[in-house]
């Protein structure tokens, strides 16, 4: 049977709908578990309709794997994530988004395909190369997969080298709220609309510097939040959240080396999730490098699963 830890997950519920020849007849209901009480189970289908099923009529229920993200789902989420990490300098080639921020972070300095370039592929790639060259940057792509598999293969054929893969993970905000009680024996988390100097220093240490243009990336969104955990005047952990439509985006979840494995990352995440709920979010996304095993283990334990991935590729050296 399902439990409260399955709130927000995709489930199948077998409902008794009658009897025939003395045997129960049933129907399977597939969707997101949005409520679970002693008396009933509520499942939301893909059209957003809620079905409330009395417990007495539930023959069986279990969680099932998340539905594979569609092309549209991937494009929508990538567009939101790009808005949540806004590059200082942008342009378009058709539905390809070009981003540059003086080289600060790959996300803010790579081309993101969100559809077709509206010109031939080789012409589009030449335009990408020229655009980045004028900014003295190496041309890079962040290719969402599997939605743009054909583009990735074309880049590979043309010598664009892979650098690293990033997983875009998602979770239901209701599930995270249910699974994350506040750990009262840890220092409190402070959530503010602007990062303080210590917060920025930790980010600079993590990212290899913090140029002035980086502040535009961090703060240039409609609804930002910056989480900090201090103890005895020392900053131990940080995190960043942004809300756009029904999505809460998390980034820069960081605990200083001497304070790791103490529950602070969970504490920061829980505080940002509560903040997101107050601002109307219903789902959560984050991006994590595929080889970051510690982070992946943490996010998996909280209920995150991989929505899709993107592969970063770098232009071949000029001949």
pLDDT of 7 above 90: no
Q: What is the pLDDT of residue 35?
A: 87
Q: Which pairing describes strands 305-314 and 161-172: parallel, antiparallel, or unpaired?
A: antiparallel
**Distance (Å) of CA 136 to CA 99, 103, 161, 194, 204:** 13, 9, 19, 31, 22
Go through the domains of the chain in sequence order and give each one's CATH number: 4-63 (2.30.30.100), 71-165 (no CATH), 169-309 (3.40.630.30)
pLDDT digits (tens, 9 = 90+) for 9-25: 789 999 999 988 888 89
pLDDT of 277 above 80: yes
pLDDT of 318 above 80: no
Per the model's pLDDT, the better-predicted residue between 66 and 242 turns out to be 242
- Assess contact for 284 and 247: CB atoms under 8 A: yes
pLDDT of 182 above 70: no
- Provide, for the chain, the percentages of residues in helix, strand and coil under a 3-state DSSP scheme, each rounded to the nearest 5: 30, 40, 30
pLDDT of 180 above 70: no
Q: What is the pLDDT of residue 65?
A: 77
- Assess contact for 64 and 33: CB atoms under 8 A: no
pLDDT-based confidence at residue 188 (cuts at 50, 70, 90): very high
**pLDDT (average), residues 276-303:** 92
Q: What is the pLDDT of residue 102?
A: 96
User: How far apart are the C-alpha atoms of 132 and 125, rounded to whole Å?
Assistant: 11
- Assess contact for 306 and 166: CB atoms under 8 A: no
Q: What is the pLDDT of residue 184?
A: 64
pLDDT of 32 above 90: no
Q: Which of 105, 106, 113 is nearest to 71 (CA)?
A: 113
Q: Taking the mean position of all CA atoms in its chain, how far away is CA 19?
A: 45
Q: What is the pLDDT of residue 161?
A: 97
User: How far apart are the C-alpha atoms of 123 and 92, rounded to whole Å?
Assistant: 14
User: How far apart are the C-alpha atoms of 149 and 39, rounded to whole Å?
Assistant: 46
pLDDT of 223 above 80: yes
Q: What is the pLDDT of residue 34?
A: 82
pLDDT of 262 above 90: no
- Assess contact for 286 and 248: CB atoms under 8 A: no
Q: Which of 76, 81, 75, 42 is nearest to 58 (CA)?
A: 42
- Of 64-68, 158-162, 291-295, which range is least confident? 64-68
pLDDT digits (tens, 9 = 90+) for 100-120: 999 999 999 999 999 999 999
pLDDT of 281 above 70: yes
Per the model's pLDDT, the better-predicted residue between 248 and 182 turns out to be 248
- Please give the mean pLDDT across all residues of the chain: 92
**pLDDT (average), residues 140-145:** 98
pLDDT of 215 above 80: yes
pLDDT of 77 above 90: yes
Percent of the chain surpassing pLDDT 70: 97
**Whole-structure pTM value:** 0.81
pLDDT of 211 above 70: yes
Buried b (16+ CB within 10 A) or exposed e, 142-153: bbbeebbeebbe
Alpha-helical runs (H) found in 220-315: 264-278, 293-302
């Amino acid at each position: 049977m399902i439990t409260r830890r399955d709130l927000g997950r995709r489930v199948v519920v077998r409902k008794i709908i009658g009897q025939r020849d003395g045997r129960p007849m049933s129907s399977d209901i597939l969707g997101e578990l949005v409520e679970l009480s002693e008396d009933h189970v509520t499942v939301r289908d893909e059209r957003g309709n809620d079905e409330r099923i009395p417990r007495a009529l539930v023959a069986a229920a279990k969680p099932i794997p998340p539905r594979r993200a569609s092309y549209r789902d991937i494009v929508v989420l990538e567009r939101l994530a790009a808005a949540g990490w806004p590059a200082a300098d942008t342009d378009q080639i058709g539905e390809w988004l070009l981003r540059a921020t003086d080289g600060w972070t790959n996300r803010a300095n790579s081309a993101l395909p969100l559809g077709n370039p509206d010109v031939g592929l080789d012409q589009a790639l030449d335009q990408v190369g020229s655009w980045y060259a004028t900014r003295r940057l190496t041309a890079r792509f962040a290719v969402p997969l599997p939605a743009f598999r054909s583009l990735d293969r074309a880049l590979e054929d043309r010598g664009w080298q892979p650098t690293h893969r990033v997983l875009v993970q998602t979770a239901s905000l209701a599930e995270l709220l249910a699974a994350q009680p506040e750990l009262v024996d840890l220092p409190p988390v402070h959530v503010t609309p602007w990062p303080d100097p210590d917060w920025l220093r930790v980010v600079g240490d993590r990212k290899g510097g913090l140029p002035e243009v980086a502040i535009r990336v961090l703060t240039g969104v409609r609804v930002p939040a910056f989480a900090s955990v201090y103890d005895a005047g020392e900053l131990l952990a940080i995190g960043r959240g942004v809300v756009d439509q029904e999505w809460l985006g998390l980034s820069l979840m960081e605990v200083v080396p001497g304070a790791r494995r103490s529950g602070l990352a969970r504490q920061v995440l829980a505080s940002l999730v509560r903040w997101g709920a107050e601002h109307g979010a219903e789902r959560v996304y984050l991006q994590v490098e595929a080889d970051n095993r510690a982070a992946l283990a943490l996010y998996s334990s909280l209920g995150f699963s991989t929505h899709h991935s993107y592969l970063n590729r770098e232009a071949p050296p000029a001949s």
